[in-house]
Structure 1
Amino acid sequence: MKAAHVWFRIAFSLLIAVATTACGAGQAQPPASPAVPQQPATDQSAGQSEPAYPTRQIEYIVPYSAGGGVDLVARAAADYVSKEWGQPIVVVNKPGGGGTVGAEYALKQAKPDGYTVLAVNVSNTTMLTAGMKDSLITSNDQIYTARIGKGTMAFAVKEDAPWNDFHAFSQWAKENPDQLTWTSVGPAGFSAFGVAQWFDMIDADFAKTRMIVTKGASDSVPKVAGGHAVVAIHTIGEINPMLQAKKVKILAVGGTERSPFLPDVPTAKEQGIDGLTVFWWTGVSFPKGTPEAVIKKWEAVVAKMTSDPDFVKKLHELQVEPAYADSAQFTADVEKETQYYTDLATKSNIRK
């Protein structure tokens, strides 16, 4: 019995030794966990683990024709961000419907995964909502992510037009509203609100004027240069190519101060027409449901971009001023502007 007991202790000790060796040199190990699927690549640049973004090409939708202000700023931004992130960002022009065709594609048809971004601007947001009771695109469809830049409103007429100052032109327009033709992407576009505010300030009959629909500034300004419309109201940058070619002339700019890009051109206020506050802006937005991490990453890159001297130089070449606003400020500005333009549209009978 004693011998059997000894052999039992020896065998038990051997079993313990084998088990200990298998678990790793005598260290206690936790029980094995069940296999888990491999997690996707993550982005920890913000100090937290997030799904990597972007990992492939991004479409930057411009809802206007190539060559206009929104398009040119979008291309400069796409170039900057693609280099910053190491992924291609391709600008895709989808003009039509006063900016609604491209906006509807980006905000309603594309997946809210961050790989389709909208070049949002004043015409297809606040003005569109103000001008149409049943707008196809509203603020409820999108997340205003970051504003990039702003532009000063300018009034351009044909180079050999008989007016040499804005006061005389305004007097003629007031007396002959039925002869005033102006270009716009639609009845709720930037130009339409520019004309409506101008006529409100000079107490003229906006309803008697006639709009000529175009696909954007690159189509609009040449129409004025060719004598197919009397006036084009766009940003300085959008008018500048035809201005430099001496095909059109700018009679006035909006705002309270002269533009740094056209210091010799007086404001409308200097010429006795006060209250022209309409201004142009552009930025980026995404459809509702887009991951917050995507929104934050775009906020950060636009903030960096608009403070980068090289990018600011590119904006200045387009006669656009940097005007960064994060998502919260951007959204608040849009809400305030929408209310103002809705009141103006109602008063001018633009709202349909």
Structure 2
Amino acid sequence: MKKKMIWVIGILLLTVILAGCSSQSAQGPSQTAKEEPPYPTRQIELVVPAGPGGLTDLTARAVADYVSKKWNQPILVVNKPGAGNVTGLQYGLMQGKPDGYTVVADNIASSVLMVAGMKNPPIKLEDRIFVSKFVENPMCFSVAADSSFKDMKELVEWTKQNPEKLTHTSLSATSMNALTAAELCKAIGVDYKETQPILVTSGSEGITMIAGGHAILGDQSVQETYPLAAGGKLKVLAIAAKERSPLFPDVPTCQELGIDINVTWYGGISAPKGTPDYIVKKWDETIAEMVKDPEFMDKMKELHANISYMNTADYNNSIKEQVERYTQLFDSIGVRQ
């Protein structure tokens, strides 16, 4: 009798287990796994922390055009210049909700250089998610077309002998221009603090001063330098990146000349911290597709901008490495505040 009872209980337990499995199977994976809400379902703001017309703005508009067509939702480019990029970053990263409907056209100046150049930056790396890098623009060295310097070697040798006479323009003590000049000085063994930076209010003002002979060394991007160089007003001596620029194919890189520097402006997309992973992933995957799109590629070529994609993980790692390097550099030349 006892054995019979055990046998009956066993049959009942097996029946319950099988019924449970059958019920789970009937539900299917769509009911057991959490579904991601649809995105996007309305207009997205792409915030540019600078005024219209610059490379950050123009490339952001190219991104907005592609993504809006891809997702069939409007992407509104919103320019928020002021306070050295801080106004736009606060609007897009601190005031914007982390829901994917406010993202930022970020760049090295508004991220790496801000954090590396300030002991207490108003916007920190952890205040945002660096989604993807999609564009870059190498820096270069130039002089006035009628300058006595024939090539980069002559300029370097003169600078070593006369560092206090080297004048160059910069938007701030920790701008891309300052970084480029500081990296050059470090590479050739010159004390940057002995040189004479001239503060300007815009990149165009700085490059115009070089062309007019009011400062010796141009340390702007190839995109900023190209119009005056093509017009015969500037002589480009070297590209401050690993590879030659398509805009100046005959101009050697600094590394070809034995000067170990690699300075490149770049831009990408950032989102407020707390933005869901599935939204970050969708942006990253879309940008990865965008940089291969023929129409987008033509637009970048028209803007004299180089396409350079980096995914979320690699982009974040690269930024952290650069912050560490440039923090040390700015500390060494006494400009970190």
Which TM-score tier does this pair reach, normalised by the shorter chain? 0.7 to 0.9
- Unaligned regions of 5+ residues in structure 2, if any? 1-29
Counterpart of 2:245? Answer: 259
Counterpart of 1:124? Answer: 110
- Unaligned regions of 5+ residues in structure 1, if any? 1-43
Look up the equivalent residue of 1:84 and give its one-letter code.
Answer: K
Counterpart of 1:299? Answer: 284
Where 2:218 maps in the other structure, the secondary structure is strand
Moved over 4 A (4+): none
Counterpart of 1:98? Answer: 84
The verdict on how the C-alpha distance between 1:60 and 1:122 changes in structure 2, with shifts beyond 3 A counting, is same
Counterpart of 1:168? Answer: 154
Residues paired across the two proteins, number: 306
Q: Is the Cα contact below 8 Å between 2:226 and 2:247 reproduced in 1?
A: no
Task: State how 1:1-352 maps to structure 2 within 5 Å.
Answer: 49-272=35-258, 274-352=259-337
Q: Is the Cα contact below 8 Å between 1:112 and 1:286 reproduced in 2?
A: yes
The verdict on how the C-alpha distance between 1:57 and 1:181 changes in structure 2, with shifts beyond 3 A counting, is farther
Look up the equivalent residue of 1:238 and give its one-letter code.
Answer: E
**Cα deviations across residues 198-237 of structure 1 (Å, max 9, x unaligned)?**
0111121211333344455344323433444433323212
Structure 1: distance between partners of 2:160 and 2:77: 41
The verdict on how the C-alpha distance between 1:48 and 1:321 changes in structure 2, with shifts beyond 3 A counting, is farther
Counterpart of 1:10? Answer: none
TM-score between both structures, scaled by the size of structure 2:
0.82
TM-score between both structures, scaled by the size of structure 1:
0.78
Overall identity of the aligned pairs, in %: 40
Counterpart of 2:13? Answer: none
Q: Is the Cα contact below 8 Å between 2:45 and 2:101 reproduced in 1?
A: yes
Q: Is the Cα contact below 8 Å between 1:150 and 1:321 reproduced in 2?
A: yes
Higher-Rg member (1/2)? 1
**Cα deviations across residues 77-135 of structure 1 (Å, max 9, x unaligned)?**
12211222223323333333333332222211223232222111111222221111111
TM superposition shift of 1:282: 0.8
Counterpart of 2:23? Answer: none
Structure 2: distance between partners of 1:237 and 1:282: 14
Structure 2: distance between partners of 1:90 and 1:233: 33
Where 1:231 maps in the other structure, the secondary structure is coil
RMSD: 2.4
Where 2:132 maps in the other structure, the secondary structure is strand
Where 2:139 maps in the other structure, the secondary structure is strand
The verdict on how the C-alpha distance between 1:309 and 1:334 changes in structure 2, with shifts beyond 3 A counting, is same
Q: Is the Cα contact below 8 Å between 1:98 and 1:189 reproduced in 2?
A: no
**Cα deviations across residues 135-180 of structure 1 (Å, max 9, x unaligned)?**
1122111000111022222113333333221122223333333333
The verdict on how the C-alpha distance between 1:245 and 1:95 changes in structure 2, with shifts beyond 3 A counting, is farther
Once structures 1 and 2 are overlaid, which stretch shifts more, 71-80 or 167-176?
A: 167-176
